[in-house]
């Protein structure tokens, strides 16, 4: 059993064009809807303190920045310790070959 395509289904026909146009429109509307929903969610998260006084909002931001700063100080301290541990043997060997007071006269 074979299925014959009608003239309206042929590529390049007007029905084929409209089918693709509707499909494209559906994809576009879906993307617009998804972007809109994600923006609404972002605004809801950002506006969590909405209705609060400017002082309350400033206090909330200061607290977030203090938490961030404390976390970053901890991370940077760990990085500095690792670097010190990695470089200490190298610097010790370098000091044997390149003394701080310069080359010794023989």
> What single DSSP character describes residue 105?
P
- pLDDT value of position 104: 62
Residue at 21 is within a domain: no
Is the pTM higher than 0.75?
A: no
Domain membership of residue 9 (yes or no) is no
Residue 29 falls within a domain, yes or no?
no
Give the helix ranges, DSSP H, for the chain.
14-46, 54-97
Give the range of the structural domain holding residue 79, as residue numbers without chain letter: 54-98
Regions of the chain where pLDDT drops below 50:
1
pLDDT at position 65, please?
94
Tokens 């309350």 correspond to what residue? 56
Q: What is the pLDDT of residue 45?
A: 61
The whole-number pLDDT of residue 41 equals 82
Query: Going by C-beta distance under 8 Å and a sequence separation of 6 or more, which residues neighbour residue 92?
Result: none
Provide the pLDDT for residue 24. 86
Total count of domains within the chain = 1
Start-to-end C-alpha separation, the chain: 104
In a domain, 68, yes or no: yes
Residue 82 located in a structural domain: yes
61 is a domain residue = yes
Q: Is residue 76 part of a domain?
A: yes
Residue 70 lies in a domain: yes
């Amino acid at each position: 059993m074979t299925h014959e395509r009608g003239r309206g289904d042929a590529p390049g026909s007007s029905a084929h064009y409209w089918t693709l146009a509707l499909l494209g429109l559906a994809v576009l509307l879906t993307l617009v809807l998804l972007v809109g929903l994600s923006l609404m969610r972002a605004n809801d998260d950002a506006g969590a303190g909405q209705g609060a006084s400017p002082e309350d909002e400033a206090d909330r931001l200061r607290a977030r920045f203090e938490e961030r700063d404390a976390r970053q100080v901890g991370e940077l301290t760990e990085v500095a310790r690792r670097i010190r541990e990695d470089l200490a043997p190298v610097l010790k060997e370098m000091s044997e070959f390149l003394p701080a007071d310069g080359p010794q006269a023989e």
